[in-house]
Amino acid sequence: MTSDPDFIRVRTARHRRLAEIGDGGADRLAGARVAVVGAGGLGSTVIPYLAAAGVGRIDVFDDDVVELSNLNRQILHSAESIGQPKIESAIAAGERIAPEVEVVGHQLRLGENFVDVVGAVQPDIVVDGSDSFDTRFVVDDGAARLGVPVVFGALMQWSAQITVFDAAGTYGPAVRLTDIFPDTPHVRATPGCAEMGILGSVAGMVGTMLATETVKLIVGTGRNLVGRMLVVDALDMQVTEIPLAQPDPQDNVRVMAVSTEVLDQDDPPMVIDVRRAEEIVEHPAPMPVVHVPFDQLGDVGETVAPGSKIVTLCRTGPRSVRAAQTLAEAGYEVVGYLDGGVEALQNEASVR
């Protein structure tokens, strides 16, 4: 790994030029943690593009080894890596593309251990690149219990389904996999790529879309796929959008990123830290805050006096954006959200 700031800045220069990302968004990416379930067809493009985007830590969970039949679509691997654990290719890709990014491999099968092993790495987002509903239901349940969103993709032949499930409602409507696909023996028996086939380039196309959605969620920009699903038909090259929930009126509320300078005013706003209690213990905010966890924002009136000015804060940014939107929609006077969250504030303090 390298920590040379000049190297990192030049390597990520092209997406730093995007107004929606800039230096602040690049810092949020560098401070983010993403868990990727599967280093196969979808993971083969998700992992390299997340590394290329500068996501600080990528934890890859896969218990499989490379097989010859994988190579029509799993471009993370090669003929020379047949028989080797797939996580080894993932780690090598990260080192090759972005040496400042930490890619950690976990060669194990996820099941009842999901909350323990995935929760231990404290991901901001889980990307589900698995190829069976058995694993997808495990990911859905575990991520819901951890309170983190799932960027979801499923492949079959020439088509795919792409969405973001967010049981906690942090980024949009609280929709889960089980709201769309009931956990039944019939659904679990849905055939996969081995039985139905898959065109390799479709896996690559969808993987890049999953990586893009992940970056958007981390940076806090654009319209995400929470509450809607894209169905891609590559054979006819058509994309259909299916609504999974009613549009959220909060999507029309715009909030702005603010710096700590707003706290130096004569009448500074109240800082509401929306992280979980254990996060605050591990990484306390470098300023006085009022702790109201995101999932308890409905009770914020018990803490915040009417007419109070509010700034929201989380670990890296996305939750505080959504919290600011929620509170603004509820009628509170929201100044904005602290750009980059606690990690950005700590990084700022370390260079002073």
Instruction: Name 17's Cβ contacts closer than 8 Å, sequence gap at least 6.
Output: none
Task: State how far the Cα of 120 lies from the Cα of 295, in Å rounded to an integer.
Answer: 21
Of 66, 118, 314, 335, the active-site residue reads 314
Classify residue 257 as left (phi > 0), alpha (psi -120 to 50) or beta.
beta
Cα–Cα nearest to 135, from 112, 117, 101, 159: 112
DSSP state of 19: T
Q: Are 309 and 290 a contacting pair, CB within 8 Å?
A: no
H or E stretch covering 102: strand 102-106
* Token pair of 275 as six digits: 């992280």
Task: State how far the Cα of 98 lies from the Cα of 68, in Å rounded to an integer.
Answer: 27
- Would you call 332 a catalytic residue per the annotation? no
Of 138, 167, 193, 334, the active-site residue reads 193
DSSP state of 305: P
190 three-state secondary structure: coil
- Would you call 82 a catalytic residue per the annotation? no
Task: State how far the Cα of 19 lies from the Cα of 24, in Å rounded to an integer.
Answer: 10
Residues recognised as catalytic: 193, 314
